[in-house]
């Protein structure tokens, strides 16, 4: 059950419309074509972490490197899991 992924900038702008401009979450969600429950989640997360997270997303080289490393870690972890399953399968079949 994998839903559509939205960029942090998109999420931040949608949350700003709700919190700063006073629009209802349902109207913003309808206008942007997103699930209203997703928007409610983003708003709740922003409120719990504070208003500072509403600023523009960080585009520093460190943030880009962090995103790249996280993506690489995810890919390598998936590869490892596939290899573990294959090894277990072949061990079961041959032995």
pLDDT (tens digit per residue) in 20-39: 888 899 999 999 999 999 99
* Pair 46, 69 in one domain: no
* Pair 52, 78 in one domain: no
Residue whose structure tokens are 């349902």: 26
* Pair 64, 49 in one domain: no
**Residues of 22-39 as b/e, b for ≥16 C-beta within 10 angstroms?**
eeebeebbeeeebeeebb
* Pair 47, 86 in one domain: no
* Pair 50, 63 in one domain: no
* Pair 71, 30 in one domain: no
* Pair 71, 95 in one domain: yes
* pLDDT 10s digits, 66-91: 989 999 999 999 999 999 999 999 99
Q: Rounded CA gap, 65 and 61, in Å?
A: 6
List the domain range (segments joined by +) for residue 32: 1-56
Q: What SS3 class is residue 53?
A: helix
* Pair 10, 47 in one domain: yes
Say how many domains are in the chain.
2
Statement: residue 2 has pLDDT above 80: no
């Amino acid at each position: 059950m994998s839903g559509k992924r939205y960029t942090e900038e998109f999420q931040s702008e949608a949350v700003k419309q709700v919190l700063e401009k006073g629009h209802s979450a349902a109207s913003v969600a309808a206008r942007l074509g997103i699930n209203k429950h997703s928007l409610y989640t983003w708003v709740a997360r922003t409120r719990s972490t504070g208003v500072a997270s509403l600023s523009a997303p960080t585009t520093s080289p460190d943030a880009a490197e962090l995103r790249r490393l996280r993506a690489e870690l995810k890919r390598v972890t998936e590869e490892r899991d596939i290899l573990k399953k294959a090894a277990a399968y072949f061990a079961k079949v041959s032995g």
